[in-house]
Amino acid sequence: MNIVIAADKKYTKIFKDSLTQHNILGFENELKSNFVSRIADHYNPHVLIVVNGVRSRKFDFFAALPELRKQCPTMRIIYFFGRLTDETEQSYLDVCGKMFPYGYYEIVPYDMYERGFRSKIAEILEKPLTGEDVKKLIANRQEEKIHTEILMQSIEKIIDTTPVSFAKDEVEASYDDTQVERFDEPQELLTEKQGEHITMAIGTISEKQAGCTQTALEIGILLMKSKQSVAVFLEDETYENYISYHGIESAPNGCQVNDLTLFPLSVYKEKKMYVRFAVLDVGYAPIIPEDAAYPFFESAEIKICICSFNEWDISKLADYLNSPLPYIKEINYIFFPVSEKNFVKFQKQMDKGHCKSFRIRNSPDYTEPCEWNVGIYNKILNTYIDLDISKPKKRFLFGLL
| pLDDT of residue 249 exceeding 90 | no
Higher-confidence residue of 280 and 158: namely: 280
Question: Per-domain residue ranges for the chain?
Answer: 2-143, 176-382
| pLDDT of residue 165 exceeding 90 | no
Q: Average model confidence (pLDDT) for the chain?
A: 80
C-alpha angle 37-43-49 in degrees, rounded to nearest 5: 95
Higher-confidence residue of 210 and 388: namely: 388
**The predicted structure's pLDDT at residue 88:** 83
Neighbour tally for 298: CB within 10 Å: 15
**The predicted structure's pLDDT at residue 283:** 81
User: Is the fold of 2-143 the same as that of 176-382?
Assistant: yes
Contacts for 137 with CB less than 8 Å, ≥ 6 apart: 109
CA dihedral 82, 86, 91, 96 (to 10 degrees): 80
**The predicted structure's pLDDT at residue 160:** 57
Contacts for 300 with CB less than 8 Å, ≥ 6 apart: 199, 200, 201, 280
| pLDDT of residue 156 exceeding 80 | no
| pLDDT of residue 204 exceeding 70 | yes
**The predicted structure's pLDDT at residue 278:** 95
pTM for this predicted structure = 0.56
20-24, 254-258, 283-287, 389-393: the lowest-pLDDT one: 389-393
What distances in angstroms separate CA 211 from CA 218, 231, 364, one per listed residue?
A: 10, 18, 14
Percent of the chain at pLDDT > 70 equals: 79
**The predicted structure's pLDDT at residue 208:** 56
**107-124 mean pLDDT:** 71
Residues 360, 363: Cα–Cα separation, whole Å = 9
With bands split at pLDDT 50, 70 and 90, how would you rate the model's confidence at 113? low
Beta strands in 106-145 (DSSP E): 106-108
**292-321 mean pLDDT:** 85
Please give the CATH number for the structural domain made up of 2-143.
Answer: 3.40.50.2300
Please give the CATH number for the structural domain made up of 176-382.
Answer: 3.40.50.300
Residues 242, 257: Cα–Cα separation, whole Å = 10
**The predicted structure's pLDDT at residue 286:** 65
Contacts for 319 with CB less than 8 Å, ≥ 6 apart: none
Residues 198, 265: Cα–Cα separation, whole Å = 16
**394-399 mean pLDDT:** 39
With bands split at pLDDT 50, 70 and 90, how would you rate the model's confidence at 148? very low
9-13, 32-36, 183-187: the lowest-pLDDT one: 183-187
13-17, 33-37, 207-211, 353-357: the lowest-pLDDT one: 207-211
